[in-house]
Chains A and B, each alone.
Chain A
Amino acid sequence: MHSPDLNQENIAKIRDLFPGCVTEARDEATGQLRLAVDFDQLRQELSDSIIEGPQERFRLDWPGKREALATANAPIAKTLRPAQAESLNFANTRNLFLEGDNLDALKLLQSSCLGSVKFIYIDPPYNTGGDFVYSDDFSVDTKTFFERSMQADTEGNRLVANLESNVFLRSVGSYKAVLYQDSVTEHGFWTAKAVDRQINSSETEVSRYWITDFLDSDFKTTSATGTRVLAVAMRNAAKATENLEIKKEITAAATLSPGLNDQVMTANDFIARLGLSQPSREAITGQMRHQGLLNEQFRFSAEEFNRQLPYKSVELHNGAILTAAATEFDKVFVRSEPDDKGQVTYEATGKVISEKLEKVPR
């Protein structure tokens, strides 16, 4: 039978009052982690002036840091043994894969790599079976792994055929998954279906990071091509149709489109977001080479859209705004020579097809 550890209980009481002043330290005699009071911190909490103490720095501390430093500096008598049989292109490769205790390996690399390291990425060991202070056991059976890593498309269908490589991140309620595959060859060109369930808000940035920075990938369709296919279909639809309502909707959509710059979308999304009517939608999609293009993902480019479907807009100092397709502008509006005061007169002739108050995006 043990009597209560009054020292630890007292410290726990202080922790309830001042959580920032209590830390864990390793007991030198038993090696056990025990609560300890950071007295400098406690003095600071109880004082209204700055307490003198050790110089402040940004640093990462943990119990056992001094021991780790001593171990890091201790010499070892070990060697790296090449595994030629397990290597690919051993003589010429520029890649090196080391297997072993990372501290030993780093010590052995120290002299040959000194001064030439640009970046080190470290990741705590998981699933080693070792006894760590952090939770490290994430081993699961294959079925659970596929479920948890959610290798599924947006409809929930499993994407496991010809699995070559996949990457996923997971946090509470969100995940990202990607499946890269080539249909024929082992070393062929990998195309991927990426899923991003983290997108709830500010999707552009999240998606750009995930696709371009993290995966070092890009959409198969470039911004300019995706935008061009859409803009050319709209241009041709406006030209081909006799329906003035469709012409007007396309003009309105083109005028609003700069606001979509840099957003990831499909042509379908564009049509839906700008609320185009069914007849306009049919007029536009009818001008595409095939309907598969409606679902092709790309990053919308306002610059390319304007290159393919330019609208010219002239604003006068009295508040008038004249807008027409750039190619039609001079035909639609007749402009007088400027008078003595530099004022011009625009004239347009036609049937009024619509007249309403609208909020114009500026």
Chain B
Amino acid sequence: MTVEEEYRARYDEVLVPLSASLSELLAEHLCGCERVDRISSRPKSVNRFVAKAGKITDRGVPKYEHPLAQIQDQIGARVTVFYKSDVESVREVLMRYLRPVESKDLVPASEWEFGYFGWHSVCLFPAELIMPDWPSEHVPNFFELQVKTLFQHAWSEANHDLGYKNEKAELTADQTRMLAFASAQAWGADRAFEELFCELQDPAKGR
């Protein structure tokens, strides 16, 4: 079986129902948390998976030796919240229930750059989501979890869409700068809302 056939089998049989039950579970965990805009989860589409599995490194060798075991975002879940403080509180609740194998705050490499911002974690699937009658070779170990502000979400969605549309050609310097500009604005808007939120929440601490 090719990687594509194998992934397609796992997609239909496991990833689709697993993704749905994951977002239900996340919603249960976050029930009672304020300012959660949306909780979503998606299985990586067959086309996207095949494209990622076929990636070649700079040294000309395939990036993934065992793509089905090594690609960790076959299911990706995202929680979008209003403010940056909410990212913290949502993360705290979720980390109580989930077992992360890695977590990182993605920020551009230099303070002079703007681009992708957001918190990512790779977590083990909780046992309650893995149904015993699923063939174990189709069950992934991990999913990717992102907790983002509304603006981080907006920027990454648009960036992803534009990048996808433009897969064939490199962006021009000016186009790249436009994306960085949009990211900087999103960053600034998050800062502004966060400051306002903190001030109004606790006026004594406001500056």
Residues of chain A touching chain B, judged by Cβ–Cβ distance below 8 Å, are: 183-185, 188-189, 218, 220-222, 224-225, 228-229, 288-293, 296, 304
CB distance A289 to B131 under 8 Å?
yes
Given A289-B131, A292-B127, A224 and B96 touching (CB < 8 A)? yes
In the complex, whether B192 has a CB less than 8 A from a CB of chain A is: no
Assembled-state Cα–Cα distance A188/B130 (Å):
20
| Residue in B66, B101, B142 whose CB lies within 8 Å of A185 | B66
9 A-B interface contacts by CB (under 8 A): A184-B68, A185-B65, A185-B69, A222-B97, A222-B99, A228-B97, A288-B128, A289-B129, A293-B127
In the complex, what residues of A have CB within 8 A of residue B39's CB? none
In the complex, what residues of B have CB within 8 A of residue A225's CB? 97-98, 126, 128
Interface centre among B65, B126, B141 (most CB of A within 10 A): B126
In the complex, what residues of A have CB within 8 A of residue B128's CB? 225, 229, 288-290, 293
Assembled-state Cα–Cα distance A221/B65 (Å):
29
- Other than A224-B96, A225-B97, A304-B96, give 19 A-B pairs with Cβ distance below 8 A: A183-B69, A184-B66, A184-B68, A185-B65, A185-B70, A188-B69, A188-B70, A220-B99, A221-B99, A221-B126, A222-B97, A224-B97, A225-B98, A225-B126, A290-B128, A291-B132, A292-B132, A293-B127, A296-B127
Q: List which B29-75 residues lie within 8 A (CB) of chain A.
A: 65-66, 68-70
CB distance A220 to B132 under 8 Å?
no
In the complex, whether B189 has a CB less than 8 A from a CB of chain A is: no
In the complex, what residues of A have CB within 8 A of residue B99's CB? 218, 220-222
In the complex, whether B16 has a CB less than 8 A from a CB of chain A is: no
Q: List which B113-161 residues lie within 8 A (CB) of chain A.
A: 124, 126-132, 141-142
CB distance A220 to B69 under 8 Å?
no
In the complex, what residues of B have CB within 8 A of residue A220's CB? 99, 124, 127
In the complex, what residues of A have CB within 8 A of residue B132's CB? 290-292
Assembled-state Cα–Cα distance A304/B68 (Å):
35
Assembled-state Cα–Cα distance A184/B68 (Å):
10
Assembled-state Cα–Cα distance A241/B98 (Å):
30
Q: Can you name the residue of chain B whose Cβ is closest to the Cβ of A218?
A: B99
Assembled-state Cα–Cα distance A292/B96 (Å):
21
Q: Is the interface of B mostly helix, strand, loop or mixed?
A: mixed
Assembled-state Cα–Cα distance A229/B132 (Å):
16
Interface centre among A225, A288, A292, A296 (most CB of B within 10 A): A225
In the complex, what residues of B have CB within 8 A of residue A184's CB? 66, 68-69
In the complex, what residues of A have CB within 8 A of residue B130's CB? 292
In the complex, what residues of B have CB within 8 A of residue A288's CB? 128
Assembled-state Cα–Cα distance A183/B65 (Å):
14
Assembled-state Cα–Cα distance A296/B126 (Å):
10
Assembled-state Cα–Cα distance A189/B129 (Å):
19
B182 → chain A, closest Cβ, in Å?
35
Assembled-state Cα–Cα distance A141/B201 (Å):
69
In the complex, what residues of A have CB within 8 A of residue B101's CB? 189
CB distance A221 to B127 under 8 Å?
yes
Assembled-state Cα–Cα distance A183/B128 (Å):
21
In the complex, what residues of A have CB within 8 A of residue B65's CB? 185
Q: Can you name the residue of chain A whose Cβ is closest to the Cβ of B69?
A: A184
Q: List which B87-121 residues lie within 8 A (CB) of chain A.
A: 96-99, 101
B88 → chain A, closest Cβ, in Å?
17
CB distance B96 to A189 under 8 Å?
no
Question: 7 smallest A-B Cβ distances: which pairs?
Answer: A184-B69, A224-B96, A225-B97, A296-B127, A224-B97, A289-B128, A292-B132
B128 → chain A, closest Cβ, in Å?
5
Assembled-state Cα–Cα distance A222/B125 (Å):
11
In the complex, what residues of B have CB within 8 A of residue A292's CB? 127, 130, 132
Assembled-state Cα–Cα distance A293/B97 (Å):
15
Assembled-state Cα–Cα distance A291/B132 (Å):
9
Q: Can you name the residue of chain B whose Cβ is closest to the Cβ of A224?
A: B96
Assembled-state Cα–Cα distance A222/B132 (Å):
20
Assembled-state Cα–Cα distance A229/B127 (Å):
10
Q: Can you name the residue of chain B whose Cβ is closest to the Cβ of A223?
A: B96
Given A184-B66, A185-B69, A229-B128, A222 and B141 touching (CB < 8 A)? no
Q: Can you name the residue of chain B whose Cβ is closest to the Cβ of A298?
A: B127
A301 → chain B, closest Cβ, in Å?
9
A226 → chain B, closest Cβ, in Å?
9
In the complex, what residues of A have CB within 8 A of residue B127's CB? 220-221, 292-293, 296
In the complex, what residues of B have CB within 8 A of residue A222's CB? 96-99
Assembled-state Cα–Cα distance A188/B98 (Å):
19
In the complex, what residues of A have CB within 8 A of residue B124's CB? 220
Assembled-state Cα–Cα distance A184/B138 (Å):
12
A222 → chain B, closest Cβ, in Å?
6
B145 → chain A, closest Cβ, in Å?
14
Assembled-state Cα–Cα distance A63/B104 (Å):
54
Assembled-state Cα–Cα distance A296/B129 (Å):
13
